[in-house]
Structure 1
Amino acid sequence: MKKSKPMKIPIITLLTLLVFLSSCNKYKKLDYLEFNKAYTNFIELATNEYGAKYGIAIAVVKDDSIIFEKYLGMADVDKNIKVSKNTLFYIASITKSFTAMAALRLEAKGKLDFDKSLAELLPEINFAPDLKADSIKIEHLITHTSGIENNPLRNLKAYSGSYDKNNLQTILEKFTVVNEDAPFGKFEYTNTGYIILGMIMEKELGVDWKSLVQQEVLQPLKMKHTSTQMSKAIEQGLEIAKPHTQNNDENKLVRLFLEKKDNTMHAAGGILSTAKDMARYMVVALNNGKIDGEQVIDSNLVKNSQLKHAKQNRMWYDLKRFGYGYGWNIATTPLGDTLVHHFGSFTGMHPQFSFVRETGVGVVIMANEGKISYDLNMLLSAYVFDYFSKRENLDTHYKDKLKEYHENYTKKKKSDTEYMIKLAKRTWKLELPFSLYAGTYTSDLFGTLLVKEVEENKLIVTIGNLKSDIATPHRTNAIRVVMGEEGSVVQFVVNDGKVEKAIWKGLTFTKMTH
């Protein structure tokens, strides 16, 4: 039998095809030259208005391509390292959409049963009857409608990291309570559901959520500059943006020292990524699981994840959030566009990921500052969506919004300053000498809380990854500490002239006696 010869394509045809493709790309870029110029001008105007010096990484996607990238400011002010396309940022709660998609893919493969209740998935835990563990399913955990809350679990997982993995089920059993503000079936945003989902995934498959997200989402999308483990990113020598603040009277860029570690990278917030890698994720979100001509995630899973599965009614800046999908907020913009999005927040970090399917536009904004960046990120993303939705008098509108946002920020900063002045006027209400509050406080479940007198009548507190500034006065036998950017209270229990316990955010530690 005669073998058929492979078809030969004339060289002239190949050249014609290459010229055609090159022309298409050229015209595609030309289409967005006007946008790039307008957006670059607005970015400059907005960052100058706020005097932003912190790191910002921006990627804009249209349909299936990145049409704009911009890298500004400092990744680490102390080491004078600037943000580049290779800089990884902590994406905080945007992680939820990755965890949800990993769970959906595992369900589709028959490896995770969404029909089983919390009681069935974790039968070794004796849940209180009022928690309705027989009714709560994975979908409720993903959509924030489980009706339960566990503050100790959230604080340990997100902030202190001072827990033994073997004690997590005990903490889940002992400290899970009914969410009185949002009972079963009602939406209220929380990290708790996703942390529990992470525990379920590991129990059911014998692999932690970090590896499952890597396997089910990051690898298929070829997100090679994205990591669920801080230690591995550091070992690989990847450039990681450090947390900063400019929320001070001098508008000075100041390095913060509370950073994520492996023990606080959790299923509700535990991924590092670059703007460019997140843009790949955006292309997949906008194109129903397809990228580079390949269907990497089932289109039905992607589309279903972006539908409203829970009802919510809350405002975020100018966005009216009306629904929540599987790891996605769904809102209406002032122009009436439907915005699918998720933002993130942690000490010195604020990323945003949002897209409008109708126009095929998505915006990734990473920032390593957690105060000014809230205003700027909202303005910088909204400008893009309104540009492609053809808002009239766009530049005039955003100059006005910029002025409005900045004035509100200035008022808030003034209010914060007045509050700090008020705090400084508080007098100490410690009944015993300062030295008697110093010492080591322990808990079988929550690790160690250390109170140290660094100078006479000056106390600092350390809990796992957290270390405070010098404590300030609070109520009777209590001190106020700042660990990161936010203040919290350590309440001491005193009996018969002795300090017996310290309570921080609902976690109780017993003082060791020598």
Structure 2
Amino acid sequence: MKTLEWTAGYEEYAQKLIEEFQVPGAIVAVAKDGILFYEKTFGYRDREKRWPIDLDTVFGIGSITKSFTCVAIMQLQEEGKLSVHDPVVTYLPEFRTPDEAHTREITIHHFMTHTPGLPPLPSLIPAMLQSLKADPTAEGLLSQFEKECSESIETYEQLMAYIADLPFELLGPPGTEFSYSNDAFGLLGAIIERVSGKPYETYVRERILQPLGMERSAFLVEEYDDPDNVAMLYTPRAGDGGTREVLRAPLWWDSPSMRAAGFLKASARDMLRYAEVFRTGGVSNGTRIIAKESAEQMMYPHARIDPVRSYGYGLGVLPFSEQLTLIQHTGGLKGITAQMLIVPEAGITGIVLTNVDDAPIGDLTLGLLNSLFDRPLSTQYAVFADVEKTVESLRQYPGRYRSGEGDEVTIRLDETDGRLVLVLDQSELPLRPIGEDAFLFSRRGIDTPVHFVRDAGGKVKRFALWSRQMPKVEEYTG
């Protein structure tokens, strides 16, 4: 892991990706046993003013915030104020789903592992409505969700009322189906607030950020004394002929009822300090933040996502090799793509931060890990053998799948080649069978497992892509 032996190859690889995706600015920082040993910046925190990036430049971290929320829950459990196995309705009696018995069975653990049985819901858009209305770059999103945005969701109580009134089909009994849920994590913030007696943001600041010395971390940019060292936000759009354009988009999106799901901001230096909590088993900056047992529980693979990935408490877990485990989480929102990584057995912690949404964060991170551990840049997290499928057996999968969050894909059957094709945005990606209802597609040299979910009668009902289960809304007739 001698720096000079791998940095040139990695930086050439990363620079090509950054140029291809027109990423205005990025920073990659890695520590070994708590000591920074690699730092590289690309581009600028403000492209037009050509202001540089440093370790203290503030970026959004998006859903990496979920791990902070789970640290708070573990602290409250250690104090005997709650248990992760308590029913959610113990603390949120007004929480409802379409099935009362199902609702009573949902525990805090299910919220923390994305397994309460909730499908992706459209609530995040009305929860961000006030900031979206102020942002000219959000016009398309507001138009897409016009029906859902008749009223904004400003409070936890409004979020619970919105979910209670929403018609949707539950995925399965609590604990049986993984599907990423911003709603569940937003409501963890409500539990923290009601149990601690403090606003969620205040609790996180006083119990996590301040003890760790994370002076460049906050939920609102207005809290920073030096806004000049806060990254400018950018967002991509399709220009003439479908070419990618990256626009300056300075307004930060916010959601008071969903801050626990993904609205913290931080610097690379702060995030390395935070990642130490998981490398060491709960200690950083000379302070024990959570007990060793709590850290281990957060990094335990409680819920299986796909053949490679699992989920702990606010953290993703996957084997990197026979000896190494990767603990990680990504984050994304307008102007934000981020990834935190920890390889505990090797003493490695790292952070990758960018100031544009849809940056190639997975590629940058996997390339970094492969470089650190002396593997070819193209090495995948896992290798799967192909499984033979007849054309007839593939006929049950085609259709249009759409989530409540607005994501939509089409699966079609290519009769000539005898394979399924995933139509995603403007790309057509062949699906390789790797198991029963399990497939894999490759994009930019990165393999991504996906799978289909059946109902009790054996009929294909949903498509699981990027941690979310998307219901089938239409049979494919093309």
TM-score, normalization by structure 2? 0.67
The aligned counterpart of 1:197 is: 188
User: Cα offset for 1:51?
Assistant: 6.7
CA–CA distance in structure 1, aligned partners of residues 85 and 243 of structure 2? 55
Structure 1 contact 144–193 (Cα < 8 Å) conserved: yes
Distance apart, 1:364 and its partner CA: 0.7
Alignment of 1:119-268 (within 5 A): 119-125=89-95, 128-130=98-100, 132-149=102-119, 151-158=121-128, 160=130, 162-165=152-155, 167-175=158-166, 177-180=168-171, 184-233=175-224, 237=227, 239-245=229-235, 248=239, 252-256=245-249, 259-261=252-254, 263=256, 266-268=259-261
Q: Does the 8 Å contact 2:23/2:355 carry over to 1?
A: no
CA–CA separation in structure 2 for the residues paired with 1:176 and 1:216: 38
Contact 1:93 1:344 in 2 (8 A): yes
Give 3-state SS (helix, strand or coil) of 1:133's partner. helix
Cα pair 1:65 1:283 within 8 Å, conserved: no
**1:79 and 1:264 mapped to 2: Cα distance?**
34
Partners of 2:263 and 2:14 in 1: CA distance: 29
Q: Residues 85, 291 of structure 1: CA spacing in aligned structure 2 closer, same or farther, 3 A cutoff?
A: same
The match for 1:386 among 361, 370, 384 is 370
SS in structure 2 at match of 1:369: coil
Q: Which has the higher contact order (CA 8 A, sep 6+)?
A: 2
Give the counterpart of 2:349 among 362, 377, 380.
362
Q: Are positions 1:285 and 2:268 aligned together?
A: no
Equivalent position of 2:397 in the other structure: none
- Alignment partner of 1:351 is 2:338: yes
Distance in 1 (alpha carbons) for counterparts of 2:318 and 2:117 = 22
Residue of structure 1 aligned with 2:265, choices 263, 269, 272: 272
Task: Name the structure where helix makes up a greater proportion of residues.
Answer: 1
1:71 to 21, 41, 45: 41
Query: Aligned ranges for residues 28-107 of structure 1 at < 5 Å?
Result: 31-44=2-15, 46-48=17-19, 50=20, 52-107=22-77
1:382, CA displacement in angstroms?
1.9
Letter in 2 for 1:60: V
Q: How does 1:421-500 map to 2 (within 5 A)?
A: none
Instruction: Tell me if 1:117 matches 2:87.
Output: yes
Kindly provide the amino acid, as one letter, of the partner of residue 270 in structure 1.
Answer: F
The one-character-per-residue Cα deviations of 1:465-489 (angstroms, maximum 9, x if unpaired) are xxxxxxxxxxxxxxxxxxxxxxxxx
Kindly state the Cα deviation for residue 106 of structure 1 after the two structures are TM-superposed.
1.2
Distance 1:344-1:51 versus aligned 2 partners, 3 A rule: closer
Deviations 1:43-102 (A, max 9, x none): 445545x27451101111212211111222132334443333322111111110110011
In 2, Cα distance between equivalents of 1:312 and 1:271: 25
Q: Secondary structure at the match of 1:219?
A: helix
Q: How many residues align?
A: 363
* Identical pairs, percent: 26
SS in 2 for 1:339: strand
5+ long unaligned stretches in structure 1: 1-29, 315-319, 399-413, 420-514
Q: Which amino acid aligns with 2:196?
A: L
Flag the 1:164–1:54 CA change in 2: closer, same or farther, 3 A.
closer
TM-score, normalised to structure 1's length?
A: 0.63
Partner of 2:140: none
Mapped contact 1:343–1:350 kept (Cα < 8 A): yes
Q: Cα offset for 1:142?
A: 0.4
Cα 1:182–1:337, aligned 2, differ >3 Å: closer, same or farther?
A: farther
Is the contact between residue 140 and residue 185 of structure 1 (CA under 8 Å) also seen in structure 2?
Answer: no
What is the alpha-carbon distance in structure 1 between the residues aligned to residue 336 and residue 80 of structure 2?
A: 36
1:441-460 CA distance string (max 9 Å, x none): xxxxxxxxxxxxxxxxxxxx
Match of 1:338 in 2: 325
User: Retained in 2: the 8 A contact 1:157–1:266?
Assistant: no
Q: Contact 2:29/2:40 (CA < 8 Å) preserved in 1?
A: yes
CA distance in 2, matches of 1:381, 1:150: 26
The structural deviation recorded for 1:215 is 2.1
